[in-house]
Structure formats: structure tokens, C-alpha cells
Amino acid sequence: MKQLMIFFLLIAGQQTINAQNSRNDYHSARETYLKPNDIHEFLAQYSGEWTGEMSTWLYPQSSAQRLPLAVVDKMILGNRFMQMTINGTITGTPFECLITLGYSTTNQRFTTTNLDNLGTGTVTLTGYWVSPRKTIELFGDMPTPENTDVVHLRQLINFVDNDTYVIEYFDKRAGQQEFKNREFRFKRKK
């Protein structure tokens, strides 16, 4: 009987230790999730005013249309997200675009949301570093404006240097090859 009692006490003690370790793991993971890290500090380097150019291609092998842009980048929500506010004019119509770029410390994944005044949709893309502190590759889908077909999207964000970055968008529609349909090229205002 005494041996049985010791056995149960050992099991109960181990469960208490496991529960405590589990609580510690939870709190450690939660703290990691709550706090911006060095990736967020890296993104913060790109805060400021930028001049830009947007090149668009309506279909493969078409000539690019180029538009000048004014851009303001800033970190928001406690330095957890980068917000890019882009303004320009497309064929006499004001163009406004809002992009947020976030990095999750939990799954080490980037997420962007893209909104503009050219439509009512929201584009959300997720991805990872292709080359750390150099290039992020993101993927997502969106319906076409013409019908309910899906367009597969790929985006590359290239941090060329502290004063230059480029965002490239690629479309792939059913039965077609992927093609680059838009590029934003930004230079820091001096």
C-alpha cells in the first residue's frame, strides 16, 4: 500500500511539473507574439517619405504605362505593422493605395493587405523571406473584376538598399502563363 501511495504521489508531482512547464511555455510564446522583434526594426528603417513610379502592364508583352507617385511609409500599432500610403494620378483620376505589411513572430510569416480606390476588393497575401532582409515573396488569390474566375497572385518585395525598395506584382489566370502586371519602384526623398 505504501508503494502504491508513493507511485501516485510521483505521478501527481510529474503532472504538476508538466502543468508548470506548459504554463511557462504558454507565457514565453505569448510574450514572443506580443512584442515586435528585429524584423519589425528592419521594416521601421523604411519609414519616411518616398517618391515612386508605378509601371503597369495590361497583358503580357504590352508596353508599360508609367505613373509618378508620392509615398509615405510609417510603422503603426506599436511598431508592429508598416503602413504604406501611396498617391498619384491615373489618366486624370486620383489614385490612392494603402498597403499594410506585417510580420508574425509566431509563425515567421509576412502578410500584406492591399486596398485602393480602383475597386472595392481587398487583396491579402502571405509569404516568407526568399532572401533574409532582402526579398519577401507572398502569394494569394483574388476574383477577377470581370467574372468570378480566380487570379493567382504573387508579390515580391525587394529591399534594394536603405533608400530603395521595389514591389512587383504577378498575375496568373486559368490557362495562361504568369506575367508581371505592376511594379512600384520607391526612392527615399532626400
Show me where the domains of the chain are located.
1-34, 38-188
Confidence at 30, pLDDT banded by 50, 70, 90 = confident
Q: Say which residue, 53 or 133, is predicted with more confidence.
A: 53
Whether the CB-CB separation of 33 and 54 falls below 8 Å is answered with no
Mean pLDDT of 41-63: 93
What pLDDT is stored for residue 76 in this prediction?
98
Residues 41, 75 contacting (CB under 8 angstroms):
no
**Which residue, chain included where needed, has cell 490612392?**
96
Is residue 12 scored above 90 in pLDDT?
no
Residue 121: per-residue pLDDT? 87
Cα dihedral across residues 40, 42, 43, 44: positive or negative: positive
Q: CATH code for 38-188?
A: 2.40.128.20
Give the per-residue pLDDT at 190. Answer: 86
Confidence label for 70 from pLDDT (cuts 50, 70 and 90): very high
Place of cell 494603402: 98
- Give 21's pLDDT tier (boundaries 50, 70, 90): low
pLDDT at residue 11 greater than cutoff 60: no
pLDDT at 96 over 60: yes
- Write down the mean pLDDT value for the chain: 88
Residue for cell digits 508548470? 20
Confidence band for 33, pLDDT divided at 50, 70 and 90: confident
Which residues, in sequence order, are bridge partners of residue 53? 68, 185
Burial 41-72 (b: 16+ CB within 10 A, else e): eebeebeeebebebbbbeeeeeeeeebebebe
pLDDT band of 146, cuts 50, 70, 90: confident
- Burial classification of residue 92, based on how many CB atoms lie within 10 Å of its CB (0-12 exposed, 13-18 middle, 19 or more buried): exposed
pLDDT for position 86: 96
Instruction: For residue 186, give the nearest of 47, 90, 40 by alpha carbon.
Output: 47
As a whole number, mean pLDDT of residues 36-54 equals 96
Whether the predicted pLDDT of 115 surpasses 80: yes
